[in-house]
Amino acid sequence: MKFSDFVSVEAIRPSIVADSKEGVIREMTQSLVDAEKIATSEMDSIVKAIMKREDLGSTGIGRGVAVPHTKHPSVSRLVGTVAISERGVDFESLDGEPVQLFFLLVSPPDRPGDHLRALENISRQLRDDAFCKTLKEAGGPQEVWRLLEDADAQSIAS
Amino acid sequence: MTTGRTKNPIDETHSCEVIVTNEQGLHARPADLVAREAQRWESRIEFIGKSQRVDGKSILDLLTLAAEEGTHLVVEATGPDAREALDAIGNLFNKKFASNESSTITNTEKTQQERHVSGSSARINTATCESVAERNTNS
């Protein structure tokens, strides 16, 4: 599954201001509401579900990356967005490092395979240090989107 | 643990096959649990999927397997504590990563549903992991 299959360009936030875990999750969920990918009325429920998942163990998977996520019945297909924090946020990551890159995913409960394939793609790309670095330094949503598209094109070619 | 390598100059390689049996597959939380378990051992631990071999101590690597429910994976451990490491990892898979995800199908039933011809041999291998893991727990 490619980035362009689940990332909404309108919801990309290359410079989030939140400085807490919940703040980041709320800001990113709001971006999906603004992009009309999730319903306003579902926002609180989704934020709550993502926080509940974080309670089970941080989705800060190391290397300054976190993938907060949840299943939620209000979506009919996997939706996601990307956010970048210039300063980094304490996300209780597995390696203890602050997180700068966030990929937030909301998936329909009956599609675990899609969720796995999105995680697979994110992990595969993020093993590339150069990709992480350029993404962290991206200036605007369009630049982030272009980097994701480039990554998609490369994964098809390889 | 840190002195294990010098005490055991000959590194052994052991492997076993595991099957992902939880409904959600090897997603972030199980991958985290597996990587943490693997990191406890000195041995090099690798997972071999359909088309790739990845580092079992890296959550990112494990996630690239995109291992859905029913996926068969070979776990290979090389080092002084290879066998114990496999026991521990096999045990995690056998107990579905100790997850509380609901599943109405038992391991065996699910394996029988597998359309792969290799299902029967995989079942034996998993059983091997299971029995070794049980010994480990009892000791």
Tell me the catalytic residues of A: 69
Model confidence at A62, pLDDT cuts 50, 70, 90, reads: confident
B29 in contact with chain A, both atoms CB, cutoff 8 A: yes
Residue A157 has pLDDT above 70, yes or no: no
Structure-token match 């998993």, residue found: B126
Residues 6+ apart with CB under 8 A from B95: none
Please judge whether B27 and A61 are an interchain contact, meaning their C-beta atoms are less than 8 angstroms apart.
no
Name the nearest CA neighbour of A2 among A112, A118, A106, A104. A118
- The mean per-residue pLDDT over the stretch A23-52 comes to 97
pLDDT tens across A84-124, in order? 999 999 999 988 899 999 999 999 999 999 999 999 999 99
Residue B103 has pLDDT above 70, yes or no: no
A52 in contact with chain B, both atoms CB, cutoff 8 A: no
Determine the residue of chain B that is closest to A66 in CA distance: B28
B73 in contact with chain A, both atoms CB, cutoff 8 A: no
Report the relative pairing of strands A60-62 and A99-107 from DSSP bridges. Answer: unpaired
Distance from CA of B57 to the nearest CA of A (A): 12
The domains located in chain A, with CATH, are 3-157 (3.40.930.10)
What local confidence, expressed as pLDDT, does residue A94 receive? Answer: 82
A124 in contact with chain B, both atoms CB, cutoff 8 A: yes
By the 10 Å C-beta count (0-12 exposed, 13-18 middle, 19+ buried), A21 is classed as buried
Distance between CA A81 and CA A9 in Å, rounded? 8
Distance between CA A107 and CA A110 in Å, rounded? 8
Nearest 10 degrees: CA dihedral of A114, A43, A19, A7? 30
Distance between CA B101 and CA A115 in Å, rounded? 16
CATH 3.30.1340.10 fits B8-138, yes or no: yes
- The phi and psi torsions of A70 (rounded to 5 degrees) equal -160, 160
- Would you say the pTM of this structure is higher than 0.95? no
Q: Which two tokens stand for residue A141?
A: 């949503």
Residue A136 has pLDDT above 70, yes or no: yes
Q: How are strands ordered across the β-sheet holding B44-48? A: B12-19, B72-79, B44-48, B53-55
- The phi and psi torsions of A15 (rounded to 5 degrees) equal -145, 80
Determine the residue of chain B that is closest to A94 in CA distance: B32
Distance between CA B24 and CA B101 in Å, rounded? 8
Share the mean pLDDT of chain A: 94
Q: Where are the domains positioned within chain B?
A: 8-138
Determine the residue of chain B that is closest to A1 in CA distance: B66
